[in-house]
Structure 1
């Protein structure tokens, strides 16, 4: 089989001011064709098979007027650069030790068809994706057994020190990170009560099947009172794992127990430039002696393989459920990669949103 000599990629064309677009004169992304560089020592040629879709990617493409680059935890994507994304790919050719033709690898692939990657570059994070137990799809390396599973574990265990017997509330509980937080809190940490928050009744049923004692639909007209009643029935809330920010965070500040802790993981409700909401309950941070701690998973990557091992072990023991329901894999034409990514901001996914090329 002859090897490809060119590839298509989605490039950042303009910093978005609201919801990103991929058509029109001021589109956020543009589709380009590039020549592949020659394969040299230490490099591999990879065909991209799957791409991870993450809310954090929105921050990477924001205008410097919106977010100062030095306040981001990774360098922003510059105009003219390929859109950055972690992914899984197949090695078509290799001149790097430890990588062979046919290997499935994970690493930073970007929105590209093919990529020549430096196997020793830490920024690429390239490693062979080993088979998972029970015939699980390797796509879980992008979700439950990858960055999102690690985010859930470190945020809950390391950042806010959740302990057995505590009461936990999780927003975005049907998402990639939130669904793992529910399971880790209930089945690994031993939380006495776990309340999930999700976007519809069907998702809530799934969250409860994972171990949540109760799941609330935030689109309910009575959500605020339902949340208050659920927290009171549980005996309070010691830990709130926040994936969304905005109004739900504000409501939770008014429902936390004294000395409660908030793991600030994400704020997707404001990522596309929506007007910020006033924080009506902020005084509770003072009156209830609350702690709010932001974190980024890369701060804990030195423990990543240890925790992945724990999660794989928990899957084998039946303590953590991972399967088709934990991810939404969308078969996508290359021309529609941005459209699949944008589903994140529509709440269209259950579990991890993965693009399958």
Structure 2
């Protein structure tokens, strides 16, 4: 029997990036370090990282003090391991509920190995019939975000017209399917960044998807919402959010899930030319963070598995972008999020 590792490589924060993170040079944002692995205590397990979730919000966690919004999670400090959810396999255990071989969802970060308590891990069923990476996407926290953002935050219903920005991304593509195929909303309009992505979103069930890089985008969005919309599920922020203030009917609801258009420029103040519409049209704007709903993840996994069996939700290769990568390539894969180089959930498959 092979001996267990006693140390691990991990990527840690070297510098707070002012704008776009840098991968190389004297001012690189991240650096690799070797750290010792502590001996296991009762109730703990040693895990090897298999898949890593790539999430835009991680950019906010590494922002310096000057530009940072009020925290909803502790920031990643200089010298800290880069934070991320991962799917990892138990290779050593003193935890009754985590025998060796178990695959778990945990916050392992950008590390080869790490230790975790059993109450910090969610065991993944081995006989579900779904590829493991989907438990970081549609069948994981991504699905949870889309589901509760629509069902609870804005209380979407069958008579609603829903607009989803970032509709080809992980959360957006799931939100399109939840709105159209689980809730049964009257009309679902997606917004994405290429014509190919728009066709992908329409294939998921959107009635129409609009390319925000088109010179006629705002005219196209006005025509698509000619009778106005009830709900805007926003993953992007910025100018599109500002314009949507003018395209929601009185009492319209906005779920603010993310603001990826600003994550690399948080020091710049956001301004809205159309904000008066929030007052005159009595718009309801709700920001939300999925961490508030993590205790409901097992329930949503069951809902989505049933929906997948009924053909209401796609859980397949096209609904994720799986990138095999060496340990040294982890930060570069994450940066694909900000270059639009993903369709559905972006997952790193860590090569051994």
Question: TM-score when scaled to structure 1?
Answer: 0.95
The answer on 1:285 being equivalent to 2:284 is no
Counterpart position of 1:346: 339
How far 1:74 moved relative to its partner?
0.8
1:336 aligns with 329
3-state SS of the aligned residue for 2:250? coil
Q: How far is 1:282 from its partner? A: 1.0
For residue 100 of structure 1, report the CA deviation from its aligned partner.
Answer: 1.1
How much does 1:279 deviate?
A: 1.3
Matching residue within 274, 281, 300 for 2:293: 300
1:196 Cα deviation from its structure 2 partner: 0.2
Distance of 1:132 and 1:22 partners within structure 2? 39
Q: Tell me, what secondary structure is at the counterpart of 1:260? A: strand
Note if contact 2:150-2:179 (Cα within 8 Å) is conserved in structure 1. Answer: yes
Between the aligned partners of 1:304 and 1:277, the Cα distance in structure 2 is 33
When structure 1 is superposed on structure 2, of 2-11 and 173-182 the one drifting more is 2-11
User: Is 2:269 aligned against 1:269?
Assistant: no
Return the offset for 1:262: 0.5
- 1:247/1:277 contact within 8 Å kept: no
What's the CA shift for 1:20?
1.1
2:300 and 2:330 map into 1 onto residues whose CA distance is 31
Q: How far does residue 307 in structure 1 lie from its aligned partner after superposition?
A: 2.1
2:179–2:188 contact (8 Å) kept in structure 1? yes
**Structure 2 portions without partners, runs of 5+:** none
Report whether the alignment pairs 1:186 with 2:180.
Answer: yes
The separation in 2 between residues aligned to 1:278 and 1:75, in whole angstroms, is 27
Cα distance in 2 for partners of 1:302, 1:350 equals 27
Q: 1:135-146 alignment to 2 at 5 Å?
A: 135-146=129-140
Alignment of 1:216-235 (within 5 A): 216-232=210-226, 235=227
8 Å CA contact 1:132, 1:138 repeated in 2: no
Partner of 2:308: 315
2:88 corresponds to: 89
User: Aligned to 1:51, what secondary structure does the other structure show?
Assistant: strand
Match of 1:127 in 2: 122
Query: Secondary structure at 1:293's aligned position in 2?
Result: strand
Query: Aligned pairs, how many?
Result: 348
**Paired residue for 1:356?**
349
Residue deviations 1:14-65 (CA, integer Å, cap 9, x gap): 1111111232112211111122222232211111011001011111111122
> Offset at 1:2?
2.4
Deviations 1:68-111 (A, max 9, x none): 5xx21111111111001100111111111111111111101010
SS of residue paired to 2:322: strand
Partner of 1:178, secondary structure, is helix
Further displaced range: 26-35 or 221-230: 26-35
Cα shift readout 1:200-249 (whole Å, capped 9, x = no counterpart): 011111111111000000010110101101111xx320000000000111
Q: Retained in 2: the 8 A contact 1:83–1:111? A: yes
1:117 Cα offset (Å): 1.6
- Could you tell me which of 199, 222, 232 is aligned with 1:205? 199
Residue 88 of structure 1 aligns to a residue whose secondary structure is strand
Whole-angstrom CA distance in 1 between matches of 2:71 and 2:306:
34
Q: Distance in 1 between matches of 2:310 and 2:169?
A: 23
In 1, Cα distance between the equivalents of 2:28 and 2:76?
Answer: 15
Q: Secondary structure at 1:83's aligned position in 2?
A: coil
Q: Residue 108 of structure 1 corresponds to which residue in structure 2? A: 107
CA contact (8 A) 2:254 2:284 kept: yes
